Amino acid sequence: MSAGTEVTTTWVAVCPAEQIVPETGVCALVEGEQVAVFRLADGSVWALGNLDPFSGASVMARGIVGDRAGVPVVASPVYKQCFDLRTGACLDDPSVALPAHRTEVVEGVVLVAAQEGMAT
C-alpha cells in the first residue's frame, strides 16, 4: 500500500447482456480471476467470485439465483449457502464473503471491474 496511489478501474467486457439468460449466471475470466456474472429478470447484472469458499469448487456461476427477504442472492449449487449478489456476503456466515465486482452494461455489453483491492 502506498499513500497517494490512485485506484484505477480496469473494466473487462464479458459478453452481450442478452446472452445471459435472465435469472442465471455465466462464468467469465476477468484479469485471470474466474468471475460469476448474473443477470436478473429486472435486467440488473451482478458479479461475484466464482470460487465457492465452502466446497472449494469453482461453481458459483451455476448457482441458483433467488431472493431472500428482499435480498437478491445466489445459492451455491454444492452446499446451498446463500450469498448477497450486491456485496458477496454470505447471509448465514458473516465471516465468509465472495469478492464482489462492480458491473456496468454499456451499449448492451456487460462490463465487469477487475478487483481493485478496495471494494466500495
Amino acid at 4: G
Cell, residue 12:
473487462
Considering the complex, state which of residue 91 and residue 109 has its C-beta at the smaller distance from ligand FES.
91
Q: Which of 36, 37, 82, 112 binds ligand FES (CB under 6 A)?
A: 82
Among 23, 31, 67, 92, binds ligand FES (CB under 6 A): 92
Task: Count Cβ atoms within 10 A of the Cβ of residue 103 and give its class: 0-12 exposed, 13-18 middle, 19 or more buried.
Answer: buried
- Give the nearer residue to ligand FES in terms of CB position, either 65 or 82: 82
Segment interacting with ligand FES (CB under 6 A) among 16-24, 27-35, 87-95, 102-110: 87-95
Residues near 58 by beta carbon (within 8 Å), at least 6 away in sequence: 27, 34, 50, 51, 52
Q: Which stretch binds ligand FES (CB under 6 A): 25-33, 34-42, 59-67, 89-97?
A: 89-97
Residues 55, 61: Cα–Cα separation, whole Å: 14
| Residue 116 touches ligand FES, criterion: CB under 6 A | no
Asked if 81 touches ligand FES (CB under 6 A), the answer is yes
Spatial distance between the Cα atoms of 110 and 58, rounded to a whole number of angstroms: 21
